[in-house]
Amino acid sequence: QSVLTQPPSMSAAPGQKVTISCSGSRSNIGDNYVSWWQQLPGTAPKLLIYENNRRPSGIPDRFSASKSGTSATLGITGLQTGDEADYFCGAWDSSLGAWLFGGGTRLTVL
Amino acid sequence: EVQLVESGGGLVQPGGSLRLSCAASGFTFSSFEMNWVRQAPGKGLEWVSQISARSTTIYYSDSVRGRFTISRDNVENSMSLQMNRLRAEDTGVYYCVRGPMFTIFNSWGQGALVTVS
């Protein structure tokens, strides 16, 4: 099964802003909600964004997300060294009857 | 507090079988769909299977369909993944995940390592 497309890696300086893209198709991102997860080294993924753009309590408002058509974007402002992690997008695919993940983006805060 | 604890991981030879379990606590288990998601060493996340709250609807990824079987026990608050005909590419950490994946209810266990070698 296909995955959603994310850039493999990104980097930015502390204090800067980064946007991570997630590209899919109509049957997944186009027709369904997108979620984002943060995975710190050696830990389980943690929900960052749900229902396209909503943040669970405890997630700073430095993290935001949006969806347009068959693509989604995660934005992180005021980057901190603690934001260094892998970030994954995900969406249900109505045609496949399967949950799809992006390949993940490794964020380095230089 | 939501807790999902996986068990049953280990080393198995190719072609062998293994059964993973997930013990759930801190929420009304019978109200939520559940998933298994795996992660090969150094790789991304791969969804494996999903079971609805009352086991009426089950989905599998193409890579495991016909070899893996998901089940749950709403009395014991547990979920299982029976893995047969294991392959080297099934190696990874298997996470028990509360769904729906797109909602605020999404929650992950710490994972169980399965090594097929």
A90·B45 Cβ contact <8 A: yes
- Substitution target in B48, B49, B52, B102 with the highest count of A β-carbons within 10 Å is B102
Share of chain B above pLDDT 90, in %: 98
Query: Which one of B47, B59, B110 has the shortest CB-CB distance to A44?
Result: B110
pLDDT computed for residue A3 by the predictor? 78
Cis peptide bond N-terminal to B100, omega within 30: yes
B12-15's contacts with Cβ under 8 Å and 24+ in sequence apart are B12/B86, B12/B114, B12/B115, B12/B116, B13/B86, B13/B116, B13/B117, B14/B86, B14/B87, B14/B88, B14/B116, B14/B117, B15/B85, B15/B86
Share of chain A above pLDDT 90, in %: 96
Which parts of chain A sit beneath pLDDT 70? 1-2
- Residue B15 clears pLDDT 90, i.e. is over it: yes
Contact indicator for B52, B34 with CB cutoff of 8 Å = no
A-chain residues within 8 Å CB-CB of B103? 33, 50-51
Q: How many CA atoms lie within 13 A of B21 on its CB side?
A: 8
User: Average pLDDT over chain B, rounded to whole?
Assistant: 97
Contact indicator for A36, A48 with CB cutoff of 8 Å = yes
Please write the tens of the pLDDT for every residue from A59-89.
Answer: 999 999 999 999 999 999 999 999 999 999 9
A-chain residues within 8 Å CB-CB of B48? none
Q: CA of B39: which chain A residue's CA is closest?
A: A44
